[in-house]
Each structure stands twice: as C-alpha cells, then as structure tokens.
Chains A and B, each alone.
Chain A
Amino acid sequence: MSAVAARVRAPSRPAPLGRLVAVELRKAVDTRSGFWLLATIGLLSLLSLAVMTVVHSSGERSMGDLFEVALTVPSLLLPIVGILLVTDEFAHRTALTTFSLVPDRRRVVAAKLLAALALAVLVTAACLALTALAVIVGKAAGLEGISWSIGARHFGGQILHNLLSVAMGFGFGLLLLSTPLAIVLYFLVPMAWSFAVTEVKFLSKVEDWLDTGAAWSPLLDADGSVHWGHVVAAAALWIAVPITAGLIRLQRTEIK
C-alpha cells in the first residue's frame, strides 16, 4: 500500500497566513449550520430588497436607499458569523485539530479575524450587486422613483460599519469562547452600556466616544458627518480590548 508514499522534505516555514485565511473562510461555509446562516442572510437581504423595490412603489428610492435596506439584515447577523468562527471550534472541540496543525495560536486568531473581515466585505459587495440588480429590474419594470444614485461615501461607510461590527463580534467570541454567551452579550452589553451612558450623568460625557451606536452609526448616514476620533475610540474599547484580552486568555488556556 502506498499510504506512506515517497517522502517530501518537511517544510521549514509555517503555513503562509493566506492559506490559513482561505481555510478559515472555508470553515465558515462548509458546515450545515454555517452554510444556512449565510444563505439566510442572503435570502433575507434579497427579500427586504424585493419588498422595498416592488411593494413600496411610491416615493423616491435611490440605489443608496435600496443598498441600506439590503444591508439591514446582514449587518445585524454578520457579527454572529464572526462569533461562530471562533466559538464553533470550542463547542465541537475541533480546536484540538486546529491548534495541533497550527501551534502558534496567534496565527490562528489572525487568520480567523482576517477571514471574518473578508466575509464582511464579500457579503457587503454581494448586497451591492443585488441592489444593482434590483435597480435594473425595477427600471425595466418601469417602477416609479428608482434611480442609480449612490455615493461612494455611502458605500464606504456601510462596508466600514460592517467590518467594525464583525470584528466586535469576533472579539466577543474570542474572549468568551462560548457561542450562546458571546451572542447574548454581544447584543446585551452595548445596550446596557448605552442605557448607562444616557442615564448616568458623568458617563454621558463619554457617550459619543465609547458608545458603538453613537460613534459608529454616523458611518451609515449618507449625509451626516463622521467624527473619526469617536469611531476609533469606540473601536478600541469594543474591538481591541476584547481581542487582546481574548488572545491573552487563549495563549494561556489548555486546549481540551
């Protein structure tokens, strides 16, 4: 039998990061649950787009407006994709295989984070393509009020917002290493924080800086102005801190 065939020399360098990112991207779609999560995101996006294009047939609907509608569901659910990319490995203990193949845990985390960000970009781009399709169909069907108008800033803001939220989900997943806990806290903690900063006086001063809603939602507004200091500060608190803490925890933890 030739299972142990002529041997090639073992590689002297770790697997390139690009290869690991490709593997992680594949892991996000090659399970039944992963596939259906992404398929559901696509279908719901398509459905809301169709409703907005056809049924809501009065008033102005620029491509920018439709794009916003197409992204409503994806931006809500993409963070869950980011969470699952990490927590699934611990829920099903596939981490045993992952980390025995790549012992440098930082490389695995980097690959997973890059895969999550790539997914956010891909999904946003797919939504843009769907929106363009909706405009074409709408115009061909002679629907009133549909126009090709969309600003580059609008598109960029949406992509950035999705990147930020998927990275935040990823950070929660990495820190908590548990799917239900990470999903619940991902939605609950920022809400509680928002409540706290609006209700507690001395916290209200930091609201614009450290509240993801207040700091990041201007990105979604086609006309509003974005305070980049706020964007970065909120990203530091809600993305950089969980990822750093999660990485430290992962480096010390025993993979069982």
Chain B
Amino acid sequence: MSIEAEALTKRYGDHVAVEAVSFRCEPGTVTGFLGPNGAGKSTTLRMLCGLTPPTAGRATVGGRPYAAIPQPGREVGVLLDASAHHPGRRGREVLELTARTLGVSRRRVRKMLEYVGLAGAAASRRVGGYSLGMRQRLGIANALIGDPRALVLDEPANGLDPEGIHWLRGVLREFADRGGTVLLSSHLLGEVEAIADRLLIINAGRLIAEGSASEMLSGSGTLVRAADGAALKQALDRGGLSWTNGADGAVHVQAETAAVGRAAAEAGVALVELRALERGRLEDLFLRLTHADDGRGAGR
C-alpha cells in the first residue's frame, strides 16, 4: 500500500507552508521525511491523514484519499504527536480506546504493550507521568494496533535515547520487510540516517532532494565548481566520473578530489572551487539548511 502526494500545497493567506510537494513511498521501504523545524513536514503529514485540508493537490494512501478509507486505523497507522494525550488517562486505556474504535481484540492491546516495552506497571500509569520516550512507544503501539499496512509517524524518534532509536529502527525495518510502507519525519539527520532507507528533504515548504539514504549519505564525494559549468560537466563525463547538480551551480562528483582535478585539467577547465565532501552531499546540504535552526539540525 503506497503513500502518495501529488503537488500537495498548503497556504495560509500569503504564507506558503507547503508548496507543490510530490512523492511516493513504496511498500517495503522506510522513508525519512527530513527538514528543519517549520519546513512543512507536519503540515504535509496532516494533509496525508485528512486532518488539514490542502489548498491544492491531493494525497492518497493505497490509491485512495485517507478520508475515503472506511476504517483508516486498520490500514494506516498514524502517530502525529506523541505528546497529544489526556494526562489523566492510563497508558493501557489509550490503546483500549483505539482497539475498541477499530474493533480489534483486547489481546492485541496486551500484545502491543509488550511489543513496545510498556507492559506491566507502566501500562497502568497515567500518561501524564510518562517521559517523552514512553509516549513515543505508546504512540507507536497505538499506530500498530489496527495491524495496518502503512505507517505515518511525525517525529517518532524525538525523545528516544540511542537505544530507543535502535529499537525503533528494528520495529520499522520489520514492518517494512513484511511489505509495509513507512513514512516518518524528523528534523535530525542522525535520526533518519539511523532509521530510513529513503529520504525526502524538505525546506521552506518545498521538496529539495530525494533518493536512497545510502546513496545520499555514504562514501566521500567531491564538490567542484567552475566558471563554465557546461564545460566542467563535459570534462567529468569524458573522465568517466558520475556527477549530480548541486546548489548554486556546484557539481557533486562521486570521486576523489584528485580524479576530479585531473579530469578538469585534461579538458582545460578552470576551477573556481574544489573540495572533498566528508560525508557526501546530503549532510553538507542539510547542515547548510539547518544552520539557521540554531544548530540543532546537526546530527547527534
């Protein structure tokens, strides 16, 4: 069951929260929706779940708009805000309510509490006394309780310790390996890097990059810039080097700086900039994006 957005747009008056965002998440994949705070991630996810009416565009899950699914909790597990609980309700009761709404058995409640590590005393405590990490676990149990085939999770790793993030990765990996589709958001590169295998990067309401996480994150690359961009790219092609367009006319090359320099020299292209990218183009890009975000965007 795929999750799809087609030119999804949300404007509040003159303010553009989300602008023509399109993507498709396929079964068997965990997609990380990455962007600084206020980039439009939550708004996009709320539009996916029929809670925020889009200004334009459309979103579907399994080919249908979310609101057209008879009992969406049985097909799409949703966690939009782990903190959104009545503080005076017990953890177990939160799951009981969802189980009843969806018509699934009470056994399933117990099973999910065990699955997320909240069985026993923790389940009987009121959510007001839960840590954020416990609320995330409860929210994930709540999303999984209807045995859905897709998951939409907003910042599910927020508040989890490294062990918790490792656990979450296992849960989502298993879900995807069984043919499930996962879309989760995060403002921390370190988190998504640990969990997702595909990435969507959003900034200021626009999708600015997408691709496989390993491609975007792994290996070293080179950033190169020349006054004559076209000539540079020809030179790289001739040298047999694979490249992609970067920001501001820069070119990212999947090769060492020496190889790039040689290719440019052989073609007689004058370079303006040539430097190694430690962790590939993604982190470079993301760090620049989140620089204004008081530095918290940097991976932990």
Contact = CB atoms under 8 A, between A and B. Distances in A.
Interface string B61-95: 00000110111111100101101111111100100
B97 interface: yes
B6 interface: no
Nearest 8 CB-CB pairs, A to B? A32-B88, A93-B84, A31-B88, A103-B67, A255-B51, A100-B78, A92-B86, A3-B115
Contact of B111 (A3, A14, A27): A3
Given A4-B174, A20-B101, A256-B46, A14 B70 contact: yes
Interface string A241-256: 0000000000010111
Contacts of A15: 71, 101-103
Nearest to B111: A3
B87 A1 contact: no
A8 B51 contact: no
Nearest to A2: B111
A97 B84 contact: yes
B53 interface: yes
B71 A10 contact: yes
Contact of A4 (B49, B72, B87, B178): B178
A27 B81 CA distance: 19
Contacts of B98: 97, 101
18 contacts: A3-B111, A11-B70, A11-B103, A30-B90, A33-B88, A92-B85, A96-B51, A97-B80, A99-B50, A100-B80, A101-B98, A101-B102, A103-B50, A103-B67, A103-B69, A254-B46, A254-B52, A255-B46
B228 interface: no
A125 interface: no
Interface in B138-163: 142, 144, 147, 149
Nearest to A254: B52
Contact of B147 (A4, A12, A101, A102): A4
A88 interface: yes
Main secondary structure of the interface of A (DSSP, over half): loop
Contacts of A12: 70
A92 B174 contact: no
B87 to A, nearest CB: 7
Contacts of A57: none
Given A10-B74, A93-B81, A1 B115 contact: yes
A20 B74 CA distance: 15
Contacts of B126: 32
B81 A30 contact: no
Contacts of A4: 144, 147, 174-175, 178, 180
B112 interface: yes
Contacts of B73: 100-101
Given A4-B174, A4-B180, A99 B51 contact: yes
B147 A8 contact: yes
B112 A3 contact: yes
Q: Is the interface on chain A under 10, 10 to 19, 20 to 34, or 35 or more residues?
A: 35 or more
A100 B89 contact: no
Contacts of A27: 97
A5 B86 contact: no
Contacts of A23: 97, 100-101
A10 B71 CA distance: 8
A19 B86 contact: no
B71 to A, nearest CB: 5
Interface string B284-296: 0000000000000
A72 interface: no
A11 B174 contact: no
Contacts of B96: 26
Given A4-B180, A254-B52, A11 B71 contact: yes
B67 A31 contact: no
A144 interface: no
Contacts of B49: 100, 103
Contacts of B70: 10-14
A104 B115 CA distance: 30
A7 interface: yes
A203 interface: no
Given A2-B111, A33-B88, A103-B72, 5 more contacts: A4-B174, A4-B180, A8-B147, A101-B98, A254-B46
Contact of B100 (A8, A19, A32, A97): A19
Nearest to A26: B97
B53 A254 contact: yes
Given A23-B97, A97-B142, A10 B75 contact: yes
Nearest to A36: B88
A99 B49 CA distance: 9
A238 to B, nearest CB: 28
B72 A94 contact: no
Given A30-B97, A96-B51, A103-B66, A3 B144 contact: yes
